[in-house]
Structure 1
Amino acid sequence: MIPLHLRRGTAALAVSVVLGAVAAPAAFAAPAPSPVAIPSGLYGKGDPTYDGVFRQSLAFTAQHNAGVRPSAKAVDWLVGQQCEDGAFPAFRAEVTQDCDAKAMRDTNATATAVQALGAVGGQDAAVKKAVTWLKSVQNADGGWPYVAGSPSDANSTSLVTGALNGAGLKDDALKGKDGKTPLQALLGFQVSCDGKDENRGSFAFQPDKSGKLYPSADATAAVVTAAAGRGGPVIDVPKEKDKPVQAAPGCKEGMGDPKAAAAGGSDYLARTLDKNGGHLMTAPLPGVEAKPDFGNTADAVVALAADGHQEAARKSADWLAKNSAAWAKGAGPAAYAQLAFAAHATGMDPRDFGGADLVEQLNATGPAPEVKKDADDAEKKSDDEGGSSATWWIVGVAFVASMGAGILISGRNKKNQQL
């Protein structure tokens, strides 16, 4: 059984991370899944085995802020993926019977579904069941794993924390059996705060077998977004004056403050983006050339914006606007959604992102929307209901692009970290 995997996509290749308890096994090829018929209510035409719930949820959350209501058929498909105990797997083809013990329920799919169904509205029962399940699989250290019973990881903890915050449960009410809050658990993934270390301010996805932590840009972006208080449920375009990215403050003993943790992570992200000309690169793998990583760059943009660093975030968002069109077309609905999150977070127009209308491109990947409204009408409705006019439901930094036929499963180790 694969205890945990994250997914990052390109047009025809996705990198999946597989870890054991705390081990990083050698790379190996994933068995090819049997062909799966694409449900008519699902966004995207790629095999949904590994990302069906993710891409559907991302599509809904992106449409929500644009004033687009997905079709009832699409909503019914997502709700129908839920197991009786409240959890969501990545995808299940057979929904006439409840999930059995072999169904791979996962916290990331469940958290993204909570956010998506909360944005759509009218699905309180499904959201409540999912929230109950997520709380039931929290680890004693206050964090969450990808699959229940595995060690906590930074990405899953950040994503689930954001989803539960959005459902009305604040961090202090989410302590694990050890008495730690999820944010306190996240601080345990800090790699370094040494001012002379190029990895200062960074966070790791998870310790390796020996307990050592290695820097991960996507994990750092996850922690920054969560520690900034915008870890998944909503992100508002910051109204405060832009904050310059500062060097990581303090050492581990001084990083107990989530705001300090966010500042340190933002510093690391900004330096890493600048080093690559405004974007992140895929992890180097045997026989695979490192290339610009559009999905994780978008994650970093959202994280920097969430922490108030608009200038640094906008620089990379501009790079995405100029260079991401071909990638998004190949990757599908999740890619369009993620770019839309980055556009909004930096005050850009997702309907004119480098000349592309991300909203219409996203809509075209699934069933025709039920209702389409102007974004201004959606924002006014949010104000009338007591929300922020700039509220943007996001999935934090657990971005999963639509996957091609090839899936590469790799261990996460020192040489294969995302930079």
Structure 2
Amino acid sequence: MHVRHSAAVLAATVVIGTATPAVAASPSPSPALPSGLYGSTDPTYDGVWRQSLALIAQHQVDVEPATAAVGWLAGQQCANGAFAAFRADPSKPCDAKLMLDTNSTAATVQALSALGGHDTRTAKAVTWLKSVQNKDGGWGYAPGGASDANSTSVVIGALNASGADPAKVLKDGRSPYDALLKLSLPCADGGAFAYQPDKKGKLTANADATAAAVVGVLGLGMTSAKAGAPADLTCADAAHPTPERAAANGAAYLAKAVAKEGYLQSVLPGAEDQPDYGNTADAVVALAARGGTTAAAGPLRWLERNSAKWAAQSGPAAYAQLILAARACGADPRDFGGTDLVKRLTATGPAPATASRDDSGTSVWWVVGAGLAAGAGIGFLLSSRNERKQP
């Protein structure tokens, strides 16, 4: 699920010309960037986000990330448990000027929970998230901000990953699902979700918010969303829709939105009828989670044919989104329309700690010794890796 955000981040993304926190790739790496960070662009608005997605995607394909990469992400945490989009100097305590946000915090919880061994950090982060929950049960991007579908959904993913039951995380008796259901629209409006009400309280269908909310209202996140059983994706009104019903309605909206061209359109000003690759990848995950692989097949095929250039320009978060979309549908991220997404993602950061698992489920560790190289040649050891931890 690709989550996008408060007014501050949305404003920033308009400035940098994308629909996501990811920034267009620069021609050459900046020497000032931390060595453990994925990507070569300015991390001010998306450093923690893209790092989290990169680590989640690598975990999903059984690549153990570099210790430096994990350490950089963990080291971004503030003393109160929260994360900001980026801290240039983690040795300095977080102060009141630093903009903490729920999206960076929740994405990090999902990444560190998947990798394991960071229970203290993730527990502190979840405690902070609970402390800034709104009275409607949801979350905004910034603490105290109005709840939105995207932020609420990424926090649900964090709760899921940390072992908490989102339905039991209440504020004034309301859960995150209550907040999302308030943002769901009737079938007359396509059954979509709104990002958040406008100043007059009106809800407007938003494909990005819908893709996030379908996964969120099912109680899933980036580490747990996978293809569900094949299901009919028709919209059906109910006086008091259940989360499952709202998810089906949202998926029906997405299915209709991608039916003609195979992709979701960009909502940026001046981008009429222009594909939004990231949102389309999110829609694939949402459609697979609620309607099964058949429901997601069309936009997945479109991404396989058309996303390589976008991912190369956009960097690690884009590769991660495509890997998660492929995994949700049972496709091979190492041969995604002829592109090895895993290799491309790995190339944007420090070398991973281990080799990846091959298709048979066996890890291949190449052990090269100087004596062997001079004598009998190169030996190798095949060892089975335990099934990765399921969040």
TM-score range, shorter chain: 0.7 to 0.9
Q: Distance in 2 between matches of 1:36 and 1:180?
A: 47
Instruction: Find the residue that maps to 2:193 and give its secondary structure.
Output: coil
Aligned partner of 2:240 among 246, 254, 261: 254
The equivalent of 1:381 in structure 2 is: 386
Structure 1 residues 204-254: Cα deviation after superposition (integer angstroms, max 9, x where no partner): 00011111111000111111112233244412333x3x22322x1114x23
**TM (normalized to structure 1)?**
0.80
The equivalent of 1:183 in structure 2 is: 177
Change (3 A) 1:367 1:80: same
Structure 1 residues 300-358: Cα deviation after superposition (integer angstroms, max 9, x where no partner): 00001011332120111010000000000000000000000111111100000001110
Q: Distance in 1 between matches of 2:336 and 2:37?
A: 25
Contact 1:244 1:309 in 2 (8 A): no
Q: Distance in 1 between matches of 2:178 and 2:107?
A: 22
Q: Distance in 1 between matches of 2:31 and 2:142?
A: 23
Structure 1 residues 93-145: Cα deviation after superposition (integer angstroms, max 9, x where no partner): 01111110010000000000001111222111211111111111101111011
Structure ID, larger Rg:
2
Contact 1:8 1:16 in 2 (8 A): no
The equivalent of 1:192 in structure 2 is: 186
Structure 1 residues 260-291: Cα deviation after superposition (integer angstroms, max 9, x where no partner): 1011001100001114x110010151x45541
* Cα shift at 1:176: 1.2
Q: Distance in 2 between matches of 1:356 and 1:8?
A: 30
Change (3 A) 1:330 1:71: same
Change (3 A) 1:98 1:143: same
Q: Which amino acid aligns with 1:274?
A: A
Q: Which amino acid aligns with 2:232?
A: P
Q: Structure 2 unaligned runs (5+)?
A: 1-5, 22-29, 364-383
The equivalent of 1:307 in structure 2 is: 290
Q: Distance in 1 between matches of 2:167 and 2:214?
A: 18
The percent of aligned pairs where both chains have the same amino acid is 50
* Cα shift at 1:8: 9.8
Structure 1 residues 388-415: Cα deviation after superposition (integer angstroms, max 9, x where no partner): xxxxx7xxxxxxxxxxxxxxxxxxxxxx
* Cα shift at 1:162: 1.4
Instruction: Find the residue that maps to 2:237 and give its secondary structure.
Output: coil
Structure 1 residues 152-195: Cα deviation after superposition (integer angstroms, max 9, x where no partner): 11110011011112211102320112x1111111000012233x
Contact 2:265 2:272 in 1 (8 A): no
Q: Which amino acid aligns with 1:305?
A: A
The number of residue pairs the alignment matches comes to 355
Higher relative contact order (CA 8 A, sep 6+): 1
Q: Please state if 1:335 is matched with 2:318.
A: yes
Q: Please state if 1:220 is matched with 2:210.
A: yes
Change (3 A) 1:170 1:377: farther
| CA RMSD between the two structures | 2.2
Aligned partner of 1:357 among 340, 348, 361: 340
Change (3 A) 1:361 1:284: closer
Contact 1:36 1:47 in 2 (8 A): no
